[in-house]
Structure 1
Amino acid sequence: MITNVIQKGSNIYIYNERGVVQAQIGLGMGERSGLKGFTAHSVSVQQGDTIWNYDEHGSLYGHGVYVGDGGLSSSNFSSNSSSEGGSIWVRLIGIIGFIAAYYFFFLK
């Protein structure tokens, strides 16, 4: 379980419940790179124009979220960018997943 996350320079350190560093995430040097927030089980980090999620072991999971133009859309990892119409569904599924996880971990 994550109890604290600290950014020092271009590194982010994830601490467990004993106060021990259990993972480290390296950042790019861009001015838009940095720690965005964390929960007991995940850390959100912005690297350039994309926000990425990491687990308590520092492993990347899920898809990055592009925030470069002020709007949010799921990162498209292929060269085909014609799926813009589907991005609302990706966001909706992400929101539903967040609500389900919140209920499971905090309200149950």
Structure 2
Amino acid sequence: MNEKIFMKFGLSYGEIKLKAKYNRLRIAHTKFGELISHTGVTWNCETGRIEAAGEVWCGFTQRDKFFTTFKNVGCKLYSLMDLVFGKSTAKGSFKNPSTTGPQTSEEERRIEDWLW
């Protein structure tokens, strides 16, 4: 399979490299979604470019390198990434990093009560 990908695209990905690329794209999708959902930020899906006031950018670019990249070049692949990651990436209160255990029923009920 790897040989077919290399012949077609000139790329050679092993399992570790492929997982790392997947995770970087998933993180980029989450961060870009956070950015475009922020008040005062507009996104042109045709060009992938974002427009926002300077103070908005300042708050984001100080937090993470992804936001600096988004400011400079946008994210043309966001619509495609949203098809892949949109339904599978938890956000907000339901976000749970892999370094912690799964939520208990009591924690889930507390979150649901807070949301509804």
Instruction: Report if TM-score (shorter chain) is over 0.5.
Output: no
Structure with the bigger RCO (C-alpha within 8 Å, sep 6+) is 2
**Bigger radius of gyration:** 2
TM-score (norm 1): 0.31
TM-score (norm 2): 0.29
Q: Which one has the bigger helix percentage?
A: 2
